[in-house]
Structure 1
Amino acid sequence: MSRLLNTFVFTALSASSMAWAQAVPTELWLDAQQKAALGVRVAPVQVASSGVMLASATVSVPPGREVTVAAPYAGVITRIDAGLGDAVKAGAPLAQWRSPQLADTRRQLREAQLDLQNAQAALSRDQAMLADGIIPVARWQLSQNKFLAAQSALQAKQAELHSSGAPAGGADDAGASLTSPLSGSLVQTLVSVGQRVEAGAPLFKVADTRQLQLDVVLSPDKAAQLQVGDAVSVPSRNARAVLIGISRAVDAAQQAQARARVTTPGTLSAGEVLPVQLHPARASAPAAWQVPARAVISHQMQSWVMVASAKGFVPTLVKVLSSNDDQSVVTGSLSAKNQVAVTGLASLRALMQKDE
């Protein structure tokens, strides 16, 4: 009885699938006026490179080639000396700022210098008195320890000012210049004149953009097909890159990561997010076609494109191999001469369902 029931169910499902397949219209008839009324526009089908995969990537600067300039003390920005995109050299001023804490640190530095001078004079005097036998060795050792302590205190204040980028002295104890730590371009400005900032607040970002990289976001199945050395292209920017690292571990969003070194920069700019094409060297994929991502519609849990014909549009079943926000790589009964609908798809799908 169970076998008969299973056979009946399987037969019914098969018949239902065949009936649905036959119900899909072979062609939707639309004249030029109807196409215009529905807002339907088309785009050409392009041949996709064998095994090409689509992904999104962020253009970035390799580690060590980008530096954030932060406020060493709380203060006020009094002048901006460099603008976004300006080329700057190491040590070039980015902004002028004033800080009461800077003035206090410089005061402490001068006090440490005086303490060291006094300790050195006392040590020299005690050394001479020790040589004459006037004082014991313990007295000379005490003077020597005070000298070493004063010397350490001075070195600490000098290191503090050096790390802040502010010189030890100047006409204005509270004022100083924020300088670029490396040669490159100013890629981000986070402050304006008159703004009060706290110690450690990021103010500028300077990057050496002569070498760029692509931080690629991948699905786990795409990452599994890639290897170091595979080519990456960015057609929209006439740029090329090569994979130098792949992490197949997925994050909370179930995405893997890859890194590519840009070999031909084209018109890439650091910070932009754009679609890229991955070209696995060991790919053995079937012939595929590239269409705009918005041309692919979902119907009855399958993917379709609307291929333009002399009388209207032909719903054509496809399989999506790879996609990003802009493009999709698919297989199906297409050719390089075909054009597919990219707008008015909601209306075309409604007509498709109506004719089933």
Structure 2
Amino acid sequence: MQSQKHWLMTGAAVFAALGVGFGAAQLMNRPAPEAAHAEEAHSDGEGEAAVVALSPAEAAEAGVTLVALQRGGGSELKLPGRVDFAPGAEAAVDAPLGGAVTRVHVGLGDSVSAGSPLVTVRSPDGAASRAEADAASASADAARAAVDRDRRLFDQGWVSQARLDITAAEARRAEAQLRAARARVGAFGTPGSDGLTVVRSPIAGVVTRISAAPGQVLHEEALQVAAVADPGRVELVFEAPPSAAALIRIGDRLESTLAGSSAVSGVVTAIAPANEAGVVIVRARPDGTVPPAGSVLSARITAGAGTGAFVVPLDAVQTIEGVPSVFVAEASGFRARPVVTGRTSDGRIEIVSGLDGSERIAGAGAFLLKAELAKGEAEHGH
């Protein structure tokens, strides 16, 4: 009995020791809560493409431009051009009649509204037209009074119907002469009795040219006093060789470069036949930021859809973690997408794979997105 009790107590002790050892081992092998959380966060972040949370407006303000993909190939043309006002966007303003300029109300670059005064002219012809209108008004008043008088006399039996009809006809003629005189005064800018006429802007915009000065005498052969243009209505105008007429189509996209390497995208809207100098004028509607009129451009036009690889500006491709990548514009920002590149020529590089052609990517200034991405990753690492 004594021996059996000894063996039972020894077995219980061994079992307890094994249980404690197993629990300790489990506790030592279990990861700490912080380590488990970090490991889970690391595993959740694996496989996600890098995104720079920046809106298109913020990107443009930082100097990042958006470009569309184009096909390279034999139908690609390089054309010189300029930014010009669209048809109807600029008005050359003439004085309606000759005379001496007494005042210039605006300066070059001033913003004006439709009807704003530009210059004031004193014109003898204007004074004469106002005098004629005043005389015609007096004649019309006298004719209306004569009609009223003869109608009363006719009612009283003192004048005949024929006399009343003649008086009424004279009144209608006087009214017609008054309307003609007033129309002439209106065409002359409604001069006052002293011949002063205010020349006003026909459109809202910016004064782009002043052709008159105080004391200058305007003659019928040279009446222009100013030019006003709407700065928001511009187009891209390019000069192409005659052979380009068979290659370029309305709707073709183009990428052009302003002085200072600013990129401007556009769509071809009109193609004129070759002029006497053998030059085809190509007009395009700019996309996005509108450059000022008068800017000089150098454009690359991709005629038709093309069959070659996609080509993008060389600046658009950035090396991220050793891999060539472009930043694709999305609703949430700019996503870095790895691509396979091909040949490089004239500041542009082929994209062999990685894009389907529908994307708009960061062009000039893409390196800023790369720097922002590296900054975000450094902060996340800390």
Question: Of 53, 59, 67, which aligns to 2:77?
Answer: 53
User: Residue 140 of structure 1 aligns with which residue?
Assistant: 164
Q: Deviations over 1:54-109 (max 9, x none)?
A: 22334332233222211111111122111111110111111122111111111111
Work out whether 1:246 is the aligned partner of 2:271.
Answer: yes
Separation (CA, whole Å) in 2 of partners of 1:122 and 1:228:
67
Question: Of 87, 97, 102, which aligns to 1:63?
Answer: 87
Separation (CA, whole Å) in 2 of partners of 1:115 and 1:337:
78
Work out whether 1:281 is the aligned partner of 2:304.
Answer: yes
Unpaired runs of 5+ residues, structure 2, are 1-69, 314-342, 348-382
Q: Please show how residues 185-264 of structure 1 align to structure 2 within 5 Å.
A: 185-199=206-220, 201-236=223-258, 237-247=262-272, 249-264=273-288
Identity %: 27
RMSD across aligned positions (CA): 2.9
For residue 287 of structure 2, give the secondary structure of its aligned residue in structure 1: strand
Q: Measure how far apart 1:257 and its partner are.
A: 2.4
Q: Which deviates further from its counterpart, 281-290 or 66-75?
A: 281-290
Q: Measure how far apart 1:223 and its partner are.
A: 1.9
Q: Which deviates further from its counterpart, 148-157 or 127-136?
A: 127-136
Q: Measure how far apart 1:276 and its partner are.
A: 2.6
Q: Which deviates further from its counterpart, 51-60 or 111-120?
A: 51-60
Between structure 1 and structure 2, the one with the greater Rg is 2
Q: Deviations over 1:249-271 (max 9, x none)?
A: 322112222221222344332x4
User: Residue 183 of structure 1 aligns with which residue?
Assistant: 204
TM-score, with structure 1 as normaliser:
0.61
Unpaired runs of 5+ residues, structure 1, are 1-47, 291-333, 339-356
Separation (CA, whole Å) in 2 of partners of 1:336 and 1:257:
26
Q: Measure how far apart 1:289 and its partner are.
A: 12
Separation (CA, whole Å) in 1 of partners of 2:297 and 2:211:
24
Separation (CA, whole Å) in 1 of partners of 2:180 and 2:254:
50
Contact 1:77 / 1:97 at 8 angstroms: preserved in 2?
Answer: yes
Q: Please show how residues 264-275 of structure 1 align to structure 2 within 5 Å.
A: 264-269=288-293, 271-275=294-298
Contact 2:231 / 2:292 at 8 angstroms: preserved in 1?
Answer: no
Separation (CA, whole Å) in 1 of partners of 2:134 and 2:304:
65
TM-score, with structure 2 as normaliser:
0.57
Aligned length: 243
Q: Please show how residues 104-119 of structure 1 align to structure 2 within 5 Å.
A: 104-119=128-143
**Looking at both structures, which has the greater relative contact order when contacts are Cα pairs under 8 Å and sequence separation is at least 6?**
1
For residue 264 of structure 1, give the secondary structure of its aligned residue in structure 2: coil
Q: Where does structure 1 differ by over 6 angstroms across 4 or more consecutive aligned residues?
A: 285-290
